[in-house]
Amino acid sequence: MNATHVSLALLLGAALAAAPAEAQSKKKKPAVTKPAAAPKITPANARMTALQDRRSNGHFPRCTLGMELPDYPAHEVTAARVVVRKAVDDLGTDLVKEDAAEVPLEPTQRGQFGKPEGGKAAPPTIVFAEMKNPPRAAKALKEVSGEIELFVPSRDPNGEARIERFLALAGKAAVHPALRANGVEISFVSKAQLDAERKKAEEAETAKLKKEGYEDADSIRSMVESALYSFPKGEEREVILKVKDPKKAIQEIKAFGANGERVFGTDSEESGFRVLTFWNEPPQADWTLSVQMRSDSSLVRHTFAFRDVPLP
């Protein structure tokens, strides 16, 4: 092969090698999906209702500013939090608490009782901004500002799962579209299941103690009972749940009687179980369980600012 033929062969090979890359570059590039925009934070329509100022060196010194939100009926807002970003008095004292940014989303007092009956007007939501105690010489709050976060489950069609006659689900998992949409799994633990779980826990604890060298049966029994002291008992006024909530979406679990009125009790975590304990009576067959879950749709955020507020 002469030099001319060699050059042609090399040029042809280079063209063939480049062809796939050139064709690839002409292909339509996949569209880039933009992240969803964060919910817009707008100024709140807020009116100051009260300012409580306990300038004391004793117990519970604090400064609390109450805000009324007329755009939000109290029964619609079931939880709220106020994050104070700036609080300064006329002396220049910084009144922002050290843990101000860690204030949790907590149930509102008015939001626990539902919509007023008989066509009565619903009262507005009231929230509170907590600050440090100003010095006695201070005469006014120069500025108090920050953010208000409201939990309004009705704004999200998947914000609440209502599970009717939940006692009939003992030993089974709850099935509801709202639970599925939020990645939440809830199972109602039967007495037999709870006893079996306790037995497994006892056996595991006993084996651990024996491995550590304990031999006396009475001592082992006593230590096992102590180790499992917080294990749920499955008592008459308790409902035992197994909950999987990887997104931490659940805000609150509460029960309602057949008449639609809230049934009050406690909600605690014990040895991997979620235990609902009712105060006044055992749960009834016709009760309904409400699981309220947070989402971008059900969380509403606003800013607030008050200036030149006279101190009492």
Question: For 273-293, what is each residue's pLDDT tens digit?
Answer: 999 999 989 999 999 999 999
Type of residue found at 46: A
Rg (CA), the chain: 30
Q: Write out pLDDT tens, residues 24-73.
A: 444 444 444 344 444 578 999 999 998 988 766 655 667 999 999 999 99
DSSP code at position 190? P
Specify the pLDDT at position 14: 44
Report the Cα–Cα distance between both ends of the chain, in Å, rounded: 104
Specify the pLDDT at position 58: 56
Specify the pLDDT at position 108: 87
| Spacing of C-alpha 289 from chain mean position | 17
CB atoms within 10 A of CB 148: 22
pTM over 0.85: no
pLDDT confidence of 183, banded at 50, 70, 90? Answer: very high
Q: Are 304 and 267 in contact (CB under 8 A)?
A: no
Specify the pLDDT at position 59: 59
Specify the pLDDT at position 143: 97
With tokens 């979620």, the residue in question is 274
Structural domains in the chain, sorted by start: 42-156+298-310 (2.60.40), 160-293 (no CATH)
Specify the pLDDT at position 37: 46
- Integer Cα distance of 152 and 73 in angstroms: 10
Burial of 110 (0-12, 13-18, 19+ CB in 10 A): middle
b vs e for 192-208, b when ≥16 Cβ sit within 10 Å of the residue's Cβ?
ebbeebbeebbeebbee
pLDDT confidence of 235, banded at 50, 70, 90? Answer: very high
- Across the beta sheet with 62-73, the strand order is 47-54, 62-73, 124-131
